[in-house]
Structure 1
């Protein structure tokens, strides 16, 4: 491998195209294979839609109000709980309850679905005590679709760094984290797409030792009997003036949770190390929330 060119490995997992670029390692082929293997393992373990996943069998089809978590799942849910609290409950993994209801009864309209799901959802619906998770409502369902892809990205970076990789870019479906820089010390430039035409780049940002995620509601939809809404589910909906939110944060997991929450409530306070870029409904770029009051 030429030292100034990355070793590039591509595969598809978690319903998205995945790309791993590694610089400065003679073991790049083995490392990227390990990253793919780990990503697929996480996908199988935490897949909301698979009857065979750990998430479905042990958590969502639990027979009691508590579940003993393995070490990895404890880390996942401890991190998720911190993100739920940090976003004042706007980021909510129990949104799986709503998806579960809709899968059972497609005749539910939006108001009915949220009314039925309300007792099953929210920060108070679950808590951790040691390695035990307690869930107050027997029909609460967890969907980690907004978590595990980013968790896999962070694990990929950690793995690459532990094995001596000098520079890396992990891109899973547009959620990105980079390690170090390219061999000439040039930073990675990451493009953010135009929310009105996702095939076009809208702007780019330099990124070094950080993660970038963009949350938007221009592609995937959720179907209720009385119409469609964004795939980003909230009883109050996504903010009408926000087409997309790009967040730069230390980890992909943090960036992903915050960007999702900000599409719903763009006025949420964020940690000081986090940077935000909004694209509004007139395709204007903002780095603050003043446009919401104009």
Structure 2
């Protein structure tokens, strides 16, 4: 759906399981419509290639090989994503692991129970990026594995969408894919965009409000997909070392030049649990965290 708001062209759509929105200031309304459609098409292209839910996707073809064990050659775009995932795996001490998606076979957030620990242990035996041989452009798997780009592809899509817009001359706009977003210059009047960060324990409240004229924001948290069993919250951010949800930080928001970087940094901080806040400080990135007790901290509050 496209509309005009405050002199800004707006397009709302759904992709990657999330509500999405594009806001652009362009003097040519027709060009704006075409550009927004090109952005929607690009996001859809990436979803078709890398969705684990689509049996015809490239990711499904890769995982068919991974389940049986064997090798597959990938294209340059996929290789770049694998290179980035490999870097994140090394820099996180193995916490950021795109093979950990198999754990979702135990963690189903539409039921009311906690998985059998024995099942989690069996699945953990199939986790470990270090067990995959990645020698560009060939991936080689032992049998029983799979990969999941859920931790990178939406953020990558934000950056791709922003690149399309900026190459077309956009200097005032924002791309928002399910709360992961990229700001392409200030608003038309020169003011920064105001962006609210949802509080992970109070959906009606903001943990903070940011003002941004350029750059990207991404948030990882335990509230978007979770369940509560006997008063204990179990979120979808799973520690690949244990197979269980993290239980220290409730959400982490990071500002960076690129959404891909902001997203991986926020996820790694969640996975580092009690060490996450210190790790973010050591990186020198702007950030905001909320722990499971509702306490807030980070450089954005300083």
Q: TM-score, normalised by structure 1?
A: 0.86
Residue 21 of structure 2 corresponds to which residue in structure 1?
Answer: 19
CA contact (8 A) 2:182 2:216 kept: yes
Give the SS at the match of 2:151: coil
Deviates more, 1:27-36 or 1:250-259: 250-259
TM-score, normalised via structure 2 length = 0.84
Kept after mapping to 2: 8 A contact 1:153/1:176 = yes
| Cα gap change, 1:131 to 1:54, in 2 (>3 Å) | same
Unaligned runs of 5+ in 1: 289-294
- For the 8 Å contact 1:171–1:177, the answer to whether it is kept is yes
Correspondence 1:232 to 2:237: yes
Q: Distance in 1 between matches of 2:200 and 2:174?
A: 23
Match of 1:145, SS state, is helix
Q: Which residue of 1 aligns with 2:252?
A: 245
Using the alignment, how far apart are the partners of 2:72 and 2:176 within structure 1?
33
Query: Where does residue 85 of structure 2 map in the other structure?
Result: 80
How far residue 223 of structure 1 moved from its aligned partner, in angstroms, is 10
Task: Give 1:280 shift.
Answer: 2.3
Give the aligned partner of residue 156 of structure 2. 151
1:222 offset after TM fit, Å? 7.0
Distance change in 2, residues 1:128/1:163 (3 Å): same
Determine which of 19, 42, 45 is the counterpart of 1:41. 45
Alignment of 1:1-294 (within 5 A): 5-26=7-28, 27-56=31-60, 58-62=61-65, 63-100=68-105, 109-135=115-141, 137-221=142-226, 229-234=234-239, 235=242, 237-266=244-273, 267-268=275-276, 269-270=279-280, 272=283, 274-287=285-298
- The total of aligned residue pairs comes to 282
Q: State the match for 1:292 in structure 2.
A: none
For 1:133 and 1:223, how far apart are their aligned partners in 2?
Answer: 38
Are 2:106 and 2:115, in contact at CA under 8 Å, matched by a contact in 1?
A: no
